[in-house]
Amino acid sequence: MRVCLLNMFLVRRQAEFFREDLGRGVMLEMVSIPGGRFQMGSTEYDPEQPVHQVTVKPFFMGKYPITEEQWEAVMGNNLSSFEGAKSPVESVFWKDAMEFCAKLSQKTGKNYRLPSEAEWEYACRAGTTTPFHFGETITPDLVNYDGNYPYASAPKGLYREETTPVGSFPPNAFGLYDMHGNVWEWCQDVWHDDYNGAPTDGSSWETGRSYYRVQRGGSWDYGAVVCRSASRYGLALGGEGRYFGFRVAVA
């Protein structure tokens, strides 16, 4: 009986992941995110309000932010300021991320895209309601951020001053890594100053000032407060820097 249960568990776990071969030994790992409902946003800051219920359909999301070696395998160049095959690609414009998704889709035959903002927060929370999927606060032992600026009662800690290889810290309950810190991650959505009128079906919000798009997750060069699950940031399409990366999603 124990063997049967173990086999069922292994089959179920295998069904929750798939891998894309990008060539030259570079793989892209995608994690199955189950559908569900959650309370999006927080009461902490105005752009995160009003808190509202969102229903998200099942989808797959990148286990990690797109790395430099994955970017090179698809795009043939490297935009990053920091060097490291397993480090997240950074210095990425929103349009660069969209071009990557288009080329990856052509390469694989699947419809890769940026996650919607709702999908991103739902995946980051992984069933939690606390500020971070780790709990009420974080430390630099769990997340790559500027440890000089802690959150809540956490003490000050290490400031690494650069990105870290993906997967260097523990994952959330969905098996996603680096959802807090390391690099800001572009989403599909147009930026809005708050959630009044936001979709409740998990889709991206495409109306409004399309020159500004949403970023999530914080980065190595920002304090802990912007690494929260609900934290959101709007940046012009032409914005880029050593803090900005992305991860991909697919239906």
Determine the Cα–Cα distance for residues 140 and 160; give it in Å rounded to an integer: 9
Quick check: 202 and 117 in contact, CB under 8 A? Answer: no
Q: Indicate if the pLDDT at residue 2 is higher than 70.
A: no
Greatest alpha-carbon pair distance for the chain in Å reads 58
Q: Indicate if the pLDDT at residue 5 is higher than 70.
A: no
3-state SS, residue 172: coil
Quick check: 139 and 154 in contact, CB under 8 A? Answer: yes
Domains for the chain: give ranges and CATH numbers.
20-250 (3.90.1580.10)
Q: Indicate if the pLDDT at residue 37 is higher than 70.
A: yes
Neighbours of 162 (CB within 10 A): 16
Query: In terms of residues, how long is the chain?
Result: 251
Write the DSSP symbol of residue 74. Answer: H
pLDDT digits (tens, 9 = 90+) for 40-91: 999 999 999 999 999 999 999 999 999 999 999 999 999 899 999 999 999 9
Residues with Cβ within 8 Å of 1's Cβ and at least 6 positions away in sequence, in order, are: none
pTM of the model: 0.93
